[in-house]
Each structure stands twice: as C-alpha cells, then as structure tokens.
Structure 1
C-alpha cells in the first residue's frame, strides 16, 4: 500500500465520494422515481440474480456485477441481501471507479451481505458484515449515508433493496495509520512488535523443551505473525470492532517518547524502544465511538487505565470502517499516571534467609482502629541475628523513590517491647537505610527515606531483623512497603 503524506491522505474513495455526492444528490431530486416504481413484494421462486438481471432499472448494476464476477456469487449464494444502485446512480459513478475492476469489485461487495435482511427486521440501526469483510450501519430506511428508495423485493435466496447513492468502503484504523504520513513513528513502533510464531493450530509438534516445558515444533511448520500491542491492547485491523483511537503526530510522539525514555534507561536499545513506546501508546484505544464533546470526560482505555484527552489538542478527525481516529497535535503525559505508586504487601514474600522458620512466621489478619481489616506478616521468636524476609519486585522504572512502611506490633500478639528492623535494597548486607524502631500499637505509616534506582529492571528488597538472637528484640513485622516516585 502506498504511503501518503498528511496533506495527501484521504480515506479510500474520499475524493471520489465527494464528487459523486453532489451528482447523486442532484439526481435524487431531479430524477428519483416514486417509491412504488421500484421493485417490492416477493418473487420467491427466483434467485436474487434473476431479479436484478430482469429489472430494466438495474441493467447497469447487473453489467457491473458481471464485469467483476459477483454475478456468480449471487447465483450461488445460499442467503444474501443486496443494496443495489439503479441505472441513474450507476451512470453517475466516477469513471475511475468503473474502469478499475479492483475498486469496483470492492464497492459492489460492500453493497452485498451474506445474510438476509428485510427492512422490518431493522427497526434499530445494525452493524452488518458485508461481502468485502467490512461492516455497514443499516436501518429500515438507510444504508450508511444512503437512503433506501426501494425495499424488500424477496427472492428464493435473498432480499433486494435499492439505494440512492453508492456507499464506498472506508479504510480501517490500521490501514489509515499505515498511510497517514505524520503518524509514521507510531505506526513503525507498532510494527516493530511483530513476532513470527508457530501457528499452534496447524504446526507439527515434535517434542517438549526439557528446560521450559514448552512445545517444540518442526521448523517447516506454518508460522503466524503475533503483535502484543494489536493482540492485547486493540486489534486495529479487526473490522468487527469499533474503537476510538488516538494518533500522535510525529513530533508529539517523539517528544512523548523522550519524556518517558529516561525511566527505562539501563537496558538494551531495542528493549528501551519497545518499552518506552508501549508506555506512550498503551492507553490510546477506547472501545466504542467517543464523540468530540465526550473527550473532556475521563475515558477508560482498553488497557484498563483512566485517560483524559484535551479536545483542543484534536487536529483532525476521521471516521473509519472500524472506528474513529482523533489525530492529536499535543499530548500532556501525566507521569503520576504512567508510573504509579508501588506497593509491596508484607504477607506476600518471595522467600526468607532461612527455610526452617515456618513455625515462627505468622501470616495475620488484623483490625484497624476504624474496624477495617488488613493482612500482614510477623516473624517472632526465630532466634537468628539479621534474619531477613525477601521481596522481589519486577520491572521497576528508573527513578527516585520515597519509601514508607507500615509495621504493626503489640496488638493481640506476643510482642511486648519495641524493636528495630531495617530495609535493604539489592543486597541484604548493604545498609541503604539504617535500623528504625518499631513501636507498639502504632498503625501509622512511617517514612524510611529516599533511594534512586540505577536503571530499569528488577529489584530485591530485604526486611532485616536486628543483629541479635534475643526473642522480642529481633522481631520482624510488615503490613506493606510503599514506594512513591519523585518527579522533578
């Protein structure tokens, strides 16, 4: 597919549609037949192709069907609905369409559905899949922007309606993105995620990997392209869906990328590109069609995030076959939204410095002063100096963090005196933070200090007991750790 510049881009057939709109409107008012001059009623003994072929007002339409081979489709179809164009409206079609068999077939296929629809079944507007794979909004009086001017001529294998103008198939969101020149950075990033995988439905399995437990396939087996963005965020190629999608102009994408990239530093260039781009774009798809006035509210993206788009930043709007695109000339990234507070629950440890202290480790359910409950962990009476609890945290962005903990003791437990514990990061022997006293019956969150990660990646945290074996003095307690990113 040719890539067009921003100035050149129009959804497929856009210019031709505009030209035809004027001509067809004129014809509608000047030459339109009364409703009762169009075919209605039933010819259940005939197939739909025969209805079209023997109707003099549809002779030009029949000629185009023969030209594209779609007459055979109508002859063989078990069930079909056709929204046909009469001779006047076929004659008004641009020559560029009638002489290009690919465009012509695409247009005609968009006027055919492989299911049967009478107008009485269309009291509400339905999205109906057409022969070209795209969908059309159809009611009992309209076919997309066209009016139904002759309806419900029944045949043995279908229903025939007549409409007052052609309905040209639109590009889907992915096709738009592939052609819109000022969004090439966004499109290129999504394409960079393409991965060739074995198609499990047809691939020949020849074994199982002893290390990973994953299936091993014959190298000659069929493969498919997977894309984590299209597969998990929004399949912009899916004609059956309706998305509202936000597209960043190249300069906006680049500035957004630059703003976020430092939080992913310390990894390979390829990983940096993929993770930063994902952070920029993951919240840009919303299910359904959102109007411009609705953009001022809070939207729920397919990623689950709550997002807000400034309507004044919308430079262009496009209605496409599977949704609506807003092109943004500005985008204010909220770092607090991209990098939220990290909370580590005490009762979910990765491990311990020793594995023989299960009898002295207590996973508790406790009550707050307000009556609500919380879960925590306490290790009491373990007798080991510097005993520690280990927490492993994945994919921590590079940033400065303020650290807080909540450690509750002396309430319905054996702890009768205050004690000390400290937090280690990276290595339990490194004293990133000093020992801090844990008082009795204190429900308050306590500030521990600040630290800065050296790069994006996994982090290990250690809750370390006092350097003594004395019970009550080397207790460990943790409701949670809270890491709050600091944005300069």
Structure 2
C-alpha cells in the first residue's frame, strides 16, 4: 500500500511539472513572434536587412518559411558591413556557403556548459556550441523563438572554415608535401596532366580523414627538406615491381606507396593544442613522433580540426616499419573445400583466463592438408616469424605434441602443383636454410614460438600456407612478423 501511494505521489508531481512546462511553452507561442516563421521575423527587422538580402539570393529562404524546425544564427547589419571585406558576395557560391553556415538543422539553445555540442548546419559542417558561444562567437541576443525554430543574434558572423584537405590545397599548395597530396588525383603523361579516379586505399587511409566533418584531426605540414628526407628514408621499404608512369595501375608503384606511407603519418586524431604536442604524438596509423614546440610556425583552425605548419617532425624508423599479424581465424582458402566439418573456429580462454580465437582443423584424413593465408602490406626486408597455438585445454581433442609447417609463396617458381609454389627460401628456428618453418605445438603452452626468418623482396602481400604433418591437426591463433630494422 505504501509503495502504491509513493508511486501515485510521483505521478502527481510529474503531471504538475508537465503542466507547468506546457504552460510556459504555450506562453511562448502566445506571443506575436512565436506565431511567425524565422523568415518573417528576420525579414521584418531592419537590423537584419543585409543578411536577409543574402538569404533570398542563397536559395535557403524557402527553408526558413517551412514548418521544419531550424536554428538561425543571424549577424546584424553592422556585423555584415565588417564581413564584406572578407567575402565576395557577388559570387553565388560564396553567398550560399556563407548563409548556409548560419542555418542549423533542428533546434539548439545556447549551450552554457563546458561540454561541446556539435550542431550540423546546412553546409554539412558542424558549429560548436560551448561556453555560451558559437565557434567562439558570443551572441548579443539568444534563444529567440519563432514558429519553426529559434534564432540567436551575433555581432560578428560565423566564419565558414575549410576542412583540412581544402585548406592544405589553398594555403600550402606550394610545399612538396601538399604537391604529393594533390598528385593522388592526377597522372602526368607526356607533359599533360590528366585527372583519374582516386585510389580507394588513398581515400580510406588518408583523404577521408582530411574531409570528414564528424571527427576532429590535426595535420602537420613540414618544410620541403624534412618531407623529402622522410620520403627518401621510407622509399626502400616500399619498392614494388611496377614501373613508374604505369597508366594502367598508377596506384601500384613505389612512388605511390611511399608517398601514402609518409603522408598518413602526418595526421593525428583529435584537435590538438600546442601545449599537448611536446609530450609526443601518435599518428592515425600508430606511429609515434616528436615535435619541438620551437619548430611550430603557425596553427590554422579548420572545420574538422587544425593544420600546423612546422619545420620538422622526428620519426624513428622502428616505429614506422610495423609488425604484421596473420590471424588463424582468417584463412583465404584450403587445399580442398570438402572438409568444412573438420574446421573449427573457436572462442576459448587460455591458462591465464584471457580470451582468444583460433582455428583447429582436426581428423580431416587428408595428407598434407593446408590452410592458405596472406600477410598484408608487407614492407621490403627481413622478418622474424613467431607463432602462437594452444592445445590441450578442456574439451580439446588434441592433447599430444605435434608439428605443423609454414610455407611461403615464391613468385620465381613455376610448378603445376600448388604446394610446390610455396617453397620460398627461409631460415628455420635453428638458423639453418630451409624451404619451410617447423612449428611444434606443445600441450598447454600459452607462449609464442619462434619459427625463423623470411625475406620480403617487394612491397605487397605475402602469401603462405600452414600445412599439417601427414594427416595431423592444424591449430593456429596467429603468426606474427617482426621487421628486422638494421
């Protein structure tokens, strides 16, 4: 009974609160201004005549007459007079961009908190509401109500910002670094510049981060000497078999992969302040680097972060050339495809209670059965190879020690049988020359096993097999390739 009365009391309080809020809302809409659209309110106010004129030219006026709710940040005539020196309002594109930047989808009151609210405007850019400001601009009037939204008055217009990609091309176009960025959209043939379809991997790894508006990034532009030094340092590790000037595959050359590797390591996630840089920075690819604050030349805010113009960044080659891991649960195929009932993808806990995933191929009854794998984007050089495979846990049908083998594809070999193509020279765990690496799996061993060394001659994917011994099992959590940096 007490619980029932308590519940009814809560309901009564809620209804009274709702009635109070509703009354306040009705009070707003009982006012003259709340019965007019945003367009009507600003067009009737002579203090906003300059912006209204641009609104009519921009094509956005009809939106502010409609019933959908918007937030409008409107500069006064005085603010617009000062802005004319920075914008060519005879250009239709400039007008549309400028006006659209001040119109926000949905309703946003002034945010007086310290947490940033990102509001998407009609130009698909985000305006940041924080500390009672809009992108750092303080309103002179705020939270004014119309029938289809609210508006705030500002004494200076919001400044439409370029994203990182566009800023680099407009402000730093003469640097070697930005010339390299621009080159991903073009091919040079017989002195003629031809635009071609930009490579998907360039877009996914680098350019998309430069243009996305929903997240913040920091990009660094270095002196030409520094850029060229980084390019020269990495080039030997990205050597391919494709000739430069290849018109069929312009995204397959040494130049392409070297430039991409250099350029992506100039980008960091987050909008970083100068104070945070001295402690060290990590790029979007996980490469650590150092910046001396004395080397900062300028910082430019963008719509999706910031661009720093700096003299130099310090990288260690051991951080740039990364290890590669091949997961057992990610095979590319098998010796034959009729053994699915003998292939198990397992979620298990090791002896320390840690979760892991692996593959087990068991009781297949096929001599020298194998699973195919690929190590992706391997840079040129030697690698130490380690493997992890755990067996003998509760429920595991394999409990006795066994050996499996790792074979690597050799493109110089011509053979009819597929396994004969996978005899690349390697050094086994004893340091002896061989054409395969033996991988002995001991019961209840959670540790990695050193398998040997293999060399990658050109940049790209390394194909390999994990093969059983006779008709024995295959168990693999992963193979790990650790580059040997001289």
The reply on whether 1:92 has 2:66 as its aligned counterpart is: no
Aligned counterpart, 1:192? 184
The residue number in structure 1 matching 2:311 is: 329
Does the C-alpha gap of structure 1 residues 227 and 193 become closer, same or farther in structure 2, counting only changes over 3 Å? farther
1:366 and 1:116 map into 2 onto residues whose CA distance is 49
Distance between the aligned counterparts of 2:424 and 2:115, measured in 1? 68
Number of the residue aligned with 1:50: 40
Aligned residues: 411
Instruction: Tell me, in whole angstroms, the C-alpha distance in 2 between the residues paired with 1:423 and 1:146.
Output: 63
Report if the CA contact (8 A) 1:364-1:378 is conserved.
no
1:138 is aligned to 129
Structure 1, unaligned runs of 5 or more: 1-40, 196-222
User: 1:199 aligns to what?
Assistant: none
The 1:461/1:114 distance shift into structure 2, 3 A limit, reads closer
Paired residue for 1:32? none
SS in 2 for 1:181: coil
Task: Tell me if the contact between 1:172 and 1:239 (Cα under 8 Å) persists in the aligned partners.
Answer: yes
The alignment status of 1:228 with 2:238, answered yes or no, reads no
SS at match of 2:229: helix
1:169 shift after superposition: 0.9
Choose 45-54 or 347-356, whichever is displaced more.
347-356
1:174: how far off? 1.4
State the Cα deviation string for residues 431-463 of structure 1 (Å, max 9, x = none).
654479999979787767655433234445578
Q: Give 1:176 deviation, angstroms.
A: 0.5
Following the alignment from structure 1 to structure 2, what is the Cα–Cα distance between the partners of residues 137 and 158?
18
Q: Check 1:128–1:311 CA distance in 2 against 1; reply closer, same or farther (3 A cut).
A: farther
Ranges in structure 2 where 5+ consecutive residues have no aligned partner: 1-30, 188-195, 245-249, 411-420
How much has 1:368 moved relative to structure 2? 9.2
Partner of 1:484: 482
> How large is the Cα RMSD of the aligned pairs?
5.2
The equivalent residue for 1:159 is 150
2:119 maps to: 128
1:252–1:330 Cα contact (<8 Å) kept: yes
- Give the alignment of 1:63-102 within 5 angstroms: 63-66=53-56, 71=61, 73-76=63-66, 78-95=68-85, 97=87, 100-102=90-92
**C-alpha separation between the residues in 2 aligned to 1:459 and 1:176?**
38
1:239 and 2:219 are equivalent in the alignment? no
Give the Cα–Cα distance (whole angstroms) in 2 for the partners of residues 225 and 351 of structure 1. Answer: 31
- Normalised to the residue count of structure 1, the TM-score between the two structures is 0.63
Partner-residue secondary structure (3-state), 2:315: coil
Note the C-alpha offset of 1:134. 2.5
Secondary structure of 2:212's match?
Answer: coil
Once the 2 structures are TM-superposed, how far is the Cα of residue 249 of structure 1 from its aligned partner?
Answer: 4.2
Shift, 1:483, TM fit: 4.2
1:215-235: CA deviation from partner (whole Å, max 9, x where unpaired): xxxxxxxx9977433345534
Matched, 1:456 2:459: yes
* Structure 1 residue matching 2:314: 3-state secondary structure: coil
CA distance in 2: counterparts of 1:477 and 1:139, whole angstroms:
54
Report Cα offsets for 1:168-191 as digits up to 9, x if no partner: 211111110221224454464466
Residues 69-127 of structure 1 show CA distances to partners (whole Å, capped at 9, x for unaligned) of: 65555345643333223333334344564753443453333223243334489885422
Per-residue deviation, 1:311: 4.5
Using the TM superposition, name which of 226-235 and 355-364 deviates more.
355-364
Taking a change above 3 Å as real, the CA distance of residues 144 and 77 of structure 1, as seen in their structure-2 partners, is farther
Name the structure 1 match of 2:241. Answer: 267
Whole-angstrom distance in 2 between the partners of 1:50 and 1:440: 78
Distance apart, 1:487 and its partner CA? 1.9
Go from structure 1 to structure 2 and tell me whether the alpha carbon gap of 1:297 and 1:162 turns closer, same or farther (over 3 Å shift): same
Partner-residue secondary structure (3-state), 2:144: strand
Q: Distance in 2 between matches of 1:403 and 1:289?
A: 38
Question: For 1:120 and 1:320, how far apart are their aligned partners in 2?
Answer: 21
The answer to whether the 8 Å contact 2:216/2:304 transfers is yes
SS in 2 for 1:152: strand
Alignment partner of 1:307 out of 254, 270, 288 = 288
Tell me which moved more, 280-289 or 405-414: 405-414
Contact preservation (8 Å) 1:399, 1:452 = yes
CA gap of 1:431–1:274, structure 2 versus 1, over 3 A, is: closer
Say if 2:110 and 2:143, in contact at 8 Å, map to a contact too: yes
- Cα drift, residue 295 of structure 1: 2.7
**Alignment check: 8 A CA contact 1:295 1:308 kept:** no
Aligned to 1:10: none
| d(CA) in 2 for partners of 1:116, 1:358 | 55
Which shifted more, 369-378 or 163-172? 369-378
Task: Give 3-state SS (helix, strand or coil) of 1:133's partner.
Answer: coil
**Counterpart Cα distance in 1 of 2:51 and 2:116:** 26
Check 1:389–1:334 CA distance in 2 against 1; reply closer, same or farther (3 A cut). Answer: farther
Whole-angstrom CA distance in 1 between matches of 2:389 and 2:91: 74
